Structures are given as C-alpha cells and as structure tokens.
C-alpha cells in the first residue's frame, strides 16, 4: 500500500516539475534568447541604444515559445476532453479526443 502511494507521489512530483516549473523555464529561456547579441549601436542623437537581434536567437526564442504554446494547448485540450467525458489520445502522434472506455 505504501509503495503504491510512493509510485503515485513520484508521478505527481514529475508532472508538477515538468508542467509547473518547466514551461515557465522554457518561456524564460525564450525571452533570454531574444537578447542574444543584444549589444547595439548607440544612437547619435542621445536616444536609447538600438538593439540588434541575431537570427539564431530569434529562431531559438520562436522554438521556445512554440513549445510553451503547445504545452498550454495540450493542457487545455485535456481539461476540455475530461469535462466532456472523453480522453486525450496520442495514438496517432497528434492528440485526438476519444471516448473513454
């Protein structure tokens, strides 16, 4: 009985780390990737410096943001599916709603 509890507690811990802390970390990495190569030229008229982003940083940030958006979309789909008496299946690689049972 206690070992079953520990198995379930381990799953809850893993899911909370991945979804609870993992998605904000990926988002923060995306924001940080936008600052890669951020040393820009000073404006001649004394205005704020111009920030020049690198294509690599922008692409990395886009990938990070897409991962976060996908995670949120899959989580919302899971919630909606369970509310309608269905479950989320990844049998065909992409998520589909199938009847429970």
pLDDT tens digits for the chain (101 residues)? 777 777 788 888 888 888 788 999 999 999 999 888 765 555 566 666 667 788 899 999 999 999 999 989 988 998 899 888 899 888 888 888 898 87
Phi, psi of 20 (to 5 degrees): -75, -40
Chain-centre distance for alpha carbon 44: 40
pLDDT at 13: 85
Quick one: pLDDT at residue 7?
A: 79
Q: Which of 65, 64, 42, 67 is nearest to 52 (CA)?
A: 42
Task: State whether residue 54 is helix, strand or coil.
Answer: coil
Q: Are 60 and 37 in contact (CB under 8 A)?
A: no
**Residue 20 structure tokens:** 């609870």
């Amino acid at each position: 009985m206690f070992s079953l509890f520990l198995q379930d507690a381990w799953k809850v811990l893993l899911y909370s780390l991945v979804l609870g802390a993992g998605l904000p970390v990926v988002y923060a990495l995306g924001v940080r990737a936008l600052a890669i190569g951020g040393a820009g030229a000073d404006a001649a008229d004394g205005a704020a410096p111009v920030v020049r982003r690198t294509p690599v940083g922008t692409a990395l940030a886009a990938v990070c943001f897409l991962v976060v958006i996908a995670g949120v979309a899959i989580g919302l789909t899971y919630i909606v599916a369970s509310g309608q008496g269905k479950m989320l299946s990844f049998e065909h690689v992409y998520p589909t709603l199938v009847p429970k049972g």
